[in-house]
Amino acid sequence: MIYYTKDELKSSTAITRNFGSLLDNLRTKKLEKIAVIRNNKMEAVILPIEDYEKLKEKEEFEEHTGIYNLIKVREQEPIEHGISFDSVLNEYGIRENEL
């Protein structure tokens, strides 16, 4: 679970009125993140760009790792369990030169 300090919880109105200074607080690390509250419900989180990019890189790495692991598992399966490329093209009515 992610926890937020009192200073990190901001109403959407407060964010609108103080956007520049809140961005400065993120840039200078006075705040780690800002949770946007609207109608008493947390709607979004504002992060420094570096943190967001790290999260996206991690997500992409995990996706690639999952694909790699799936390929490794499928490489171990007998060829008889597979579907030929031609049968997939035929099933979807696609010609190879259309790819």
By DSSP bridging, strand 41-46 and strand 9-11 are unpaired
- Say what the pLDDT of residue 83 is: 87
Q: Work out the angle at residue 74's Cα, subtended by the Cα atoms of residues 59 and 99, and round it to the nearest 5 degrees.
A: 75
Instruction: Say if CB 31 and CB 25 are below 8 A apart.
Output: yes
Q: Is residue 1 situated within a structural domain? A: no
Average pLDDT over residues 70-74: 93
Note whether 43 and 58 are same-domain residues. Answer: no
Chain segment 48-67, per-residue pLDDT in tens: 999 999 999 999 999 999 99
Instruction: Say if CB 48 and CB 26 are below 8 A apart.
Output: yes
Residue 9 CA to residue 38 CA, distance in Å, equals: 11
Tell me which residue range forms the domain holding 65.
Answer: 51-98
Note whether 42 and 62 are same-domain residues. Answer: no
pLDDT band at 99 (very low <50, low <70, confident <90, very high): confident
Chain segment 76-89, per-residue pLDDT in tens: 988 887 888 999 99
pTM of the predicted model, to two decimals? 0.68
pLDDT band at 30 (very low <50, low <70, confident <90, very high): very high
